[in-house]
Amino acid sequence: MGTAHGSPHIHVNNEMAGGFVGTASEAEGAIQEFLEIAFVPEFHTMLVVLSTLILGAAAGMIGTFLLLRKQSLMGDALSHATLPGIGIAFMVMVAFGGSGKNMPGLLIGAAVFGLVGAGSVLFITRNTRLKSDAALGIVLSVYFGLGVALLGIIQQMPTGSAAGLNSFIYGKPSTVIIEDLYLIAGVALAVTIVCTLLFKELALLCFDECFASAQGWPITRLDASMLALATAVLVIGLQAVGLILVIAMLIIPPAAARFWTEKLKPMMIGSAVIGALSGWFGAVISAMATSLPAGAVIVLMATTIFLFSMIFGSSRGILKQAMGQYRLRRKIGHQHLLRACYESLESRIESVADEVFLSKGSSVTFDSLLSKRSWSPKQLRRLIQRSTKSGDVTSHPSTENEIRLTSQGLREGARLVRNHRLWEIYLITHADIAPSHVDRDADQIEHVLDSDLIERLEQLLDTHGAAKSVPASPHELNGGAVS
């Protein structure tokens, strides 16, 4: 009986163990396959991986300037404008007795129409009252519609069925050959050289076009050069990613890099690295799963990096900003509490030189603090607990309803009240803000006043006698009600 009852349990455990072993071995095999394809690929796979890696780096580099120039969607218009160029190039080559499938000829046609599309957008925006978004929408739809119409005509031609031009719409990196790798590498090198040589000019164009124009820089030619580089990258990316998805390689890497830095040069380098990693990992994963189109996988990899950057970016990431806002709210709450305590005790506070002390009792009641601001009792208790831990306040030993400022908290409260009132006096004196409204305006900026600004306020207000110590409240001086 024991054996009969025990066997099923042993059998089930063996199956579970076998399942875990099988899962572990499958995962290990997948990792091994990924590493082999990524670092020791066979020749044709190596061509695809290197091509997409270099393409991603070049697209990320020039895409940085397009993003900062607020012309990211220009790449979308340019990529769609290349389609009629491909169709016309095919028809011209067939008309001259060729097969129409000559890759350099098709890419030349795409490049020409990409530049024509860029010129069309610039012409519309500079010679009409239409904004750039309307110009981009017109060029994108008109040129793409023309391209689709031409593809329909080509399909009716005797050689049209064998053309395979639809691969330019969705991308087909498996057709990449060594000459294509040389072309992509050459264009990427040219983009790197031009971006390096024109770095200062393109940076100025992106951040202050009016200043660049006033300095005599050729704005139109710089814009045209930037769009020409973008067109070159788009054209070489048609075969690998396709004209619909290639725009993502220009937009997503620089957008992801923007979350990690505030400086242009590190952003451009980071964008190139993210673009390269997206192309590399996307091509490797696509080689492992042949049913997945490489262009789509590359874009999804770039999107994954973008989402990671958006959350964890060290400069503008959501987590970094949320933590900064959280710390700022805690700081503001703490400062408001010290200000409220100081103002409640102000009639009992005396100053001698730089020393601030209480001449009489130093306790503030919980209810009096609660009336100072729109705090709830729960919020105020939480603020008191935090300020107690920082050593600025203590609870009265006899009752929790009374709060006492420590000497450290008293000095900090005096500093905060002084800075607040200096700013209030400045707003009343120099900005013509009514005394009854100045408290709220001062409240919004007092928490970011640095020592240099305080010193300037002291110099401006010294004639009013307000810069020597904690000045009196300007609400009382001007007959205004304290808000």
The domain made up of 326-477 has a fold known as Arc Repressor Mutant, subunit A (1.10.10)
Residue 6 confidence (pLDDT)? 45
Contact 351, 469 (CB under 8 A): yes
Is residue 302 scored above 90 in pLDDT?
yes
**CATH of region 26-247:** 1.10.3470.10
Is residue 26 scored above 70 in pLDDT?
no
Task: Look at 313 and 41; give whichever has higher pLDDT.
Answer: 313
Contact 454, 418 (CB under 8 A): no
Q: What is the mean pLDDT of residues 312-333?
A: 91
Task: Look at 419 and 272; give whichever has higher pLDDT.
Answer: 272
Is residue 354 scored above 60 in pLDDT?
no
Q: pLDDT tens digits for 410-464?
A: 888 888 888 888 888 777 777 777 776 666 666 666 666 667 777 777 776 664 5
When the pLDDT of each residue in the chain is averaged and rounded to a whole number, the result is 80
Q: pLDDT tens digits for 145-160?
A: 998 898 888 888 776 5
Lowest mean pLDDT among 272-276, 310-314, 391-395: 391-395
Distance CA 194, CA 422 (A): 52
Residue 468 confidence (pLDDT)? 53
Q: What is the mean pLDDT of residues 369-391?
A: 87
Enumerate the domain spans of the chain: 26-247, 326-477
Lowest mean pLDDT among 71-85, 113-127, 295-309, 345-359: 345-359
Residue 351 confidence (pLDDT)? 65
Q: What is the mean pLDDT of residues 87-108?
A: 82
For the chain, the straight-line distance linking the first and the last C-alpha, in angstroms and rounded, comes to 85
Q: What is the mean pLDDT of residues 345-367?
A: 70
